[in-house]
Amino acid sequence: MLVTGSLAVAAPAGAADCPSGEFCAWEHSDYKGQRANWSGDDGWWESYIADEDSSWANHGISGPGIKDHVKVYSRAHQGGHMTICLTPGQEVNYNGAANDNGDSHTWAMSC
């Protein structure tokens, strides 16, 4: 019997395609449709994603003193109510309460 060794690292099914160090939002559930991504705060999302967000991923960098949580808000300039907050590494393929509600976000120390 011949055994060959190989190491394959596969991403989990449905894992979000979001660059390292970024927060991403998609216009459809399951990380589909147009994606917006940011490495910093954004007080006024672009028109194609504002109030059109249906899935999210926080691929931000964590470490002591680093703002690594992402708070999404229902109005521009972090106004209105917080629709969803993502912890470091968290991916949310759909959330009914937050669906189509985001207009801005900020990086924070906690939720």
Q: What is the pLDDT of residues 70-95, one digit of tens each?
A: 999 999 999 999 999 999 999 999 99
pTM comes to: 0.86
**CATH number of the domain to which 64 belongs:** 2.60.20.10
Q: What is the pLDDT of residues 26-76, one digit of tens each?
A: 999 999 999 999 999 999 999 999 999 999 999 999 999 999 999 999 999
pLDDT at 33: 97
Q: Does residue 47 lie in a domain region?
A: yes
Q: Does residue 48 lie in a domain region?
A: yes
Q: What is the pLDDT of residues 93-108, one digit of tens each?
A: 999 999 999 999 999 9
Q: Does residue 16 lie in a domain region?
A: no
The helix/strand/coil state of 29 is helix
Q: Does residue 8 lie in a domain region?
A: no
Tokens for 106, please give them: 């900020």
Q: Does residue 70 lie in a domain region?
A: yes
Q: Which residue has the higher pLDDT, 6 or 33?
A: 33
Total count of domains within the chain: 1
